[in-house]
Structure 1
Amino acid sequence: MVILVLAGTLEGRETALLLQQAGFAVTATAVTDYGCRLLQQQGLTGTLTGPLDEAALAAILGRGVQLLVDATHPFAEQASRTAMAAARTAGVAYLRLERPGAALPDHPLVYRARDLTTTISQALELGKVLFSTLGSKSLASLLAAAAPAGARVVARVLPDSEVIRHCRQIGLTPDQIIALQGPCSVELNKALYRQYRAEVVLTKDSGYTGGVPEKIAAALAVGLPVVVWQRPLLPYPLVLHSPAEVLQYCLHNLAGRPPGHQ
């Protein structure tokens, strides 16, 4: 029996490797070739690459998968909904690995927003130079709202050729694009905010792994407001918060446990 891990995050890769090292048969998925290379570099022997719709995922689950571990990004809402639906269709147990959120400081410059639309509208009330760390998928909506408001967008995005191409296609110029793999230190964040004359910072609550505390600390240090997009609330049937917790769950609940763990 196989454990399928949707390993789109650092925690997902760590979980897949931990389960494999414990003796479980593991298959780990990544949407991109880069993500797949990271899995293979960590020693994962079973990997799949590419996006999976509900039917494709259900078909994979039907080939001897005992447990689906959804370790996608906290804001990959559609991916999680697809995973839960596919697991129900295939009759496979589903487990959500959700990294803990960041502890947001109680500060007058820290604003919480429930969704992307609210995040953007709140930011436009606070400044005209929007420093976005929301990710490339949110940029089209951000630019569409910023242009009529006379606001300028600066976007920190992944240094990936497809991401950069997307940024250019939707209208960002090179001086609006910061291609940088995070997380970044407080000092580097402060330097970037100053260099690009940011007036408000936009971020998601992607947790400590996503560098949220450092982004907020840097903004407060230089007197900038921060708008934090809160995570979507989904009806997960079971949620765990660390690779170690997932391993213990598997050791105690799955049939065909590895030798030495009976």
Structure 2
Amino acid sequence: MILVLAGTLEGRDTAALLQRAGFNVTASAVTGYGCHLLQKQGLTRILTGALDEAALTGILRQGIRLLVDATHPFAALASRTAMAAARAAGVPYLRLERPAAELPAHPLVYRAKDLESTIGQALSLGKVLFSTLGSKSLSSLLAAARQAGAKVVARVLPDSKVILHCLQLGLNPGEIIALQGPCSVELNIALYRQYQAEVVLTKDSGSTGGVEEKVAAAIEAGIPVVVWQRPGLDYPLVLHRPEEVLQYCLNHLPKG
């Protein structure tokens, strides 16, 4: 049995690809929506809900022969938990990491190593911050912005819990854009202009996350963009495409 932590499109594709190739696969999703997407891909064994190290270790000890960590590039805690659980259970660990975005060398493009420096850099560049960092970063961003007298416009997932979180943090409806990406360059430009953005904040979530379109739109609109770089984790084995994971499994694991 292969366990795929399928928190991304690539993870869902990998789980489905392995199942079609004849491997026994269990896919894990944190949310009910993620479970729904896995079901649409045809997965027959799905775990739903967050897993801490103890829970994941227990699952791995139940006949799992390979753990494929296909969580989001910025889900550092999830990856650390997965690596620790794999070590504890004595199960091989494989990281499926989507390639980083190819960012242009341009005077409007700024790179930052972490959330704190991303916020600090953005506040030095403008007073209307258009954030696509996600709802988990909003509390820190809003605290710093309010202290600096800056406004935040947040583009977040169109999920009722996420929108409620935004409202509870004090954003008003005119500062919330509930939109499932990725978006085209044209749509990004229109949003930046509609909300009078002075600086864009984003993460290097890779091409699948639409970061290249966000950056290209900011350059075309003449707006600085600050890109939060990925956390650097020491993965024991990293592959970048679902097909590479399949080939690895064909080479190292018996089917069934």
Q: With structure 1 as the length reference, what TM-score do the two structures score?
A: 0.97
Q: What's the offset of the Cα at 1:95? A: 0.2
The corresponding residue for 1:257 is 255
Does the residue aligned with 2:14 lie in a helix, a strand or coil?
helix
Does the residue aligned with 1:201 lie in a helix, a strand or coil?
strand
| 8 Å Cα contact 2:24-2:255 kept in structure 1 | no
Amino acid at match of 1:60: I
The corresponding residue for 1:65 is 64
The corresponding residue for 2:181 is 182
Alignment of 1:26-37 (within 5 A): 26-37=25-36
How many residues are paired up? 256
Q: Distance in 2 between matches of 1:257 and 1:219?
A: 47
Q: What's the offset of the Cα at 1:41? A: 1.0
Amino acid at match of 1:52: L
RMSD of Structure 2 on Structure 1 (CA): 0.6
The answer to whether 1:90 aligns with 2:89 is: yes
Gaps of 5+ in 2: none
Q: What's the offset of the Cα at 1:152? A: 0.2
Amino acid at match of 1:130: L
Q: With structure 2 as the length reference, what TM-score do the two structures score?
A: 0.99
Q: Distance in 1 between matches of 2:15 and 2:166?
A: 32
Q: What's the offset of the Cα at 1:190? A: 0.3
The corresponding residue for 1:21 is 20
Moved over 6 A (4+): none
Q: What's the offset of the Cα at 1:15? A: 0.2
Q: What's the offset of the Cα at 1:257? A: 2.6
The corresponding residue for 1:81 is 80
The corresponding residue for 1:148 is 147
Does the residue aligned with 2:26 lie in a helix, a strand or coil?
strand
Q: Distance in 2 between matches of 1:6 and 1:257?
A: 19
Alignment of 1:44-63 (within 5 A): 44-63=43-62
Amino acid at match of 1:215: K
The corresponding residue for 1:131 is 130
The corresponding residue for 1:168 is 167
Q: What's the offset of the Cα at 1:97? A: 0.1
- Aligned residues with identical type, % of pairs: 77
Q: Deviations over 1:118-168 (max 9, x none)?
A: 000000000000000000000000000000100000000000111111111
Q: What's the offset of the Cα at 1:42? A: 1.0
Q: Distance in 2 between matches of 1:67 and 1:247?
A: 12
